[in-house]
Structure 1
Amino acid sequence: MNKQIAGYINEHLDEILERWTIKMEDEKDDRFFQIMSEKVIDNTVREFGELVVFSLTESEEVYRVKLNDFSVKIVRYGWSVTFVLKALTNFTHVLYDKMNEDGYLNEQNIISYTEIMTNWITPLTHSIVEAYSNVWDRTVHLQKMALQELSASLIPMFDKISVMPLVGTIDTERAKLIMENLLHGVVKHRAEVVLLDITGVPVVDTMVAHHIIQAADAVRLVGAKCMLVGIRPEIAQTIVALGINLNDFTTTSTMQRGVEKALALTNRAIVEVKDK
């Protein structure tokens, strides 16, 4: 019976996918069909239809390979779990309506076909969501590792002056890594002034400010001074609105001004050399 359903889907795949695409375009909470090119949409829709057929006709090993490849693709496209579930539900409805229109379903077989489709779509849903979740978790983990590696290094700029550029959201785990690298770098480079550059931090809330203040206090304990640079106007407004106390900080809006103040703290200055 599964092969009969698979055969029917294959025979009418183009029309089924066309109807399914129209139905999915009406889902207003996902922008996949609005922002992707027609070629990408057509290819993805075709792969989705083939995946459904594979679940009925191919071996578990072949199906799993196809399923994993498709899951990687839809994670990259930003499909949410909700959108994936709606896609499966809508495909089932379109298939049922099409079979009913063609007279494929009748009083004699509708109960058995409905039972078969239910028993087929439930494990299919579970397997797709499981594969999607695994790929998504792996992607998030890799992105998190990459972000940690990119945004927590103390870089010597001048003698006694170092800078740490911070990029992305700062959570408790990242704050711990930043603190460790910061203290290790201050001792290693014998820094007297450290510039914390928050230009790449999208949001500074109470928690982020708390982590930054802790980092500054720790730097002072090892004999250096911490400066906060890269404070954009919107960040300044947020800090004021939240009542965050940064009075113990030297703060500047740009790295350039921060470097000038850091040089002054170490009894140096940038001077213009005139041609003789």
Structure 2
Amino acid sequence: MNKQMATYIQENMTDIIARWQQMMRDEKDEPSFQVMSEEMVNQTSREFAGLMTSSLLESHQVYENRLQDFAEKVVRLGWSITFMTKAIDHFAEIVYEGMREAGTIHPDNMDGFVHEFANWATPIRNSMIDTYSKTWERTVSLQKIALQELSASLIPVFDKVSVMPLVGTIDTERAKLIMENLLDGVVKHRAEVVLLDITGVPVVDTMVAHHIIQAADAVRLVGAKCMLVGIRPEIAQTIVTLGINLNDFTTTSTLQRGVEQALAWTNRKIVEVEEV
């Protein structure tokens, strides 16, 4: 029966993919197909159909390799696990109905085919969920490592003045890294003024503000001043709405203004020099 199922898919691939794409587009709660280009939809659909057929015809190792490659791709495309399971169920449903309409499945052999379809779809669904989850966890882990490497470093911009640009979401783990790098950098660069630049922080909530306040307090304990820069209008509105107290901070909307204030604190200023 597996061979009959595979033969039907191969002989009717174009029609199956067209019907499958339409069913996936009808999933209103899962807009994955709506945000993909038509070329990408067609390419991904063919790869998915090939994966489904591979499980019927090819060795376990070949199928597992295909599954790993496809899972990595759909994680990058932003497919959810729910969308993945619906994709498998819809594909199996289309093949079953097509074989029934073609007369391949009839009352005399229906029970056997129902059993075969269950044995086909269920392991694929389980394998896909398992592979998808592992791929997603690995992707998130790599992204977190990359984000940590790209941010939370103290950069000296002038004598006694340093900047720490913060990028991305700040959780407890990142806050600890920020604190360590901040204190080490203040001592290493002998900074008297530190500018915490939150231009790249998408959301400032109570927890993020708490971490920033802790960092500023730690800087003051080692004898330096701390300034918060890069406060966008929407961030300022959020801070006011949440009642977050930043009265102990000097704050500016841009890094440039923050640098000017930091230079003033260290008895310097930026002046224009006329060309002679």
Counterpart secondary structure, 1:27: coil
The amino acid across from 1:78 in the alignment is G
- Identify which range, 10-19 or 207-216, moves more after superposition: 10-19
Counterpart secondary structure, 1:32: coil
Measure the CA separation in 1 of the matches of 2:245 and 2:32. 43
C-alpha root-mean-square deviation of aligned residues, in Å? Answer: 1.0
Residues 61-96 of structure 1 show CA distances to partners (whole Å, capped at 9, x for unaligned) of 111111111111111111111100111111111111
Size of the aligned set, in residue pairs, is 276
What is the aligned partner in structure 2 of residue 242 from structure 1?
242
Measure the CA separation in 1 of the matches of 2:21 and 2:273. 67
Counterpart secondary structure, 2:97: helix
Deviation at 1:30, TM superposition (A): 2.5
Deviation at 1:274, TM superposition (A): 2.8
Residues 191-224 of structure 1 show CA distances to partners (whole Å, capped at 9, x for unaligned) of 0000000011111100000000000000011111
Deviation at 1:33, TM superposition (A): 2.0
What is the aligned partner in structure 2 of residue 12 from structure 1?
12
Counterpart secondary structure, 1:28: coil
The amino acid across from 1:141 in the alignment is S
Counterpart secondary structure, 1:86: helix
Matched, 1:79 2:79: yes
- Identify which range, 210-219 or 231-240, moves more after superposition: 231-240
The amino acid across from 1:119 in the alignment is N
Counterpart secondary structure, 2:165: strand
- Identify which range, 98-107 or 192-201, moves more after superposition: 98-107
Deviation at 1:31, TM superposition (A): 2.6
Matched, 1:112 2:123: no
What is the aligned partner in structure 2 of residue 31 from structure 1?
31
Aligned residue runs from structure 1 range 164-183, under 5 A: 164-183=164-183
Matched, 1:57 2:52: no
The amino acid across from 1:193 in the alignment is V
Deviation at 1:5, TM superposition (A): 1.4
Measure the CA separation in 1 of the matches of 2:216 and 2:133. 39
Matched, 1:3 2:3: yes
Deviation at 1:134, TM superposition (A): 1.2
Counterpart secondary structure, 1:195: strand
What is the aligned partner in structure 2 of residue 259 from structure 1?
259
Measure the CA separation in 2 of the matches of 1:261 and 1:176. 27
Measure the CA separation in 1 of the matches of 2:223 and 2:190. 9
What is the aligned partner in structure 2 of residue 70 from structure 1?
70
Aligned residue runs from structure 1 range 195-206, under 5 A: 195-206=195-206
Deviation at 1:122, TM superposition (A): 0.6
Deviation at 1:29, TM superposition (A): 2.0
TM-score (norm 2): 0.98
Aligned residue runs from structure 1 range 74-153, under 5 A: 74-153=74-153
Measure the CA separation in 2 of the matches of 1:243 and 1:18. 54
The runs of 4+ residues in structure 1 deviating greater than 3 Å are none
Deviation at 1:259, TM superposition (A): 0.5
Residues 233-264 of structure 1 show CA distances to partners (whole Å, capped at 9, x for unaligned) of 11111111111111111111111110111011
What is the aligned partner in structure 2 of residue 207 from structure 1?
207
Residues 13-34 of structure 1 show CA distances to partners (whole Å, capped at 9, x for unaligned) of 2211111111111011223322
What is the aligned partner in structure 1 of residue 232 from structure 2?
232
TM-score (norm 1): 0.98
Deviation at 1:121, TM superposition (A): 0.8
Residues 128-171 of structure 1 show CA distances to partners (whole Å, capped at 9, x for unaligned) of 11111111111111111111111111000000000000011111
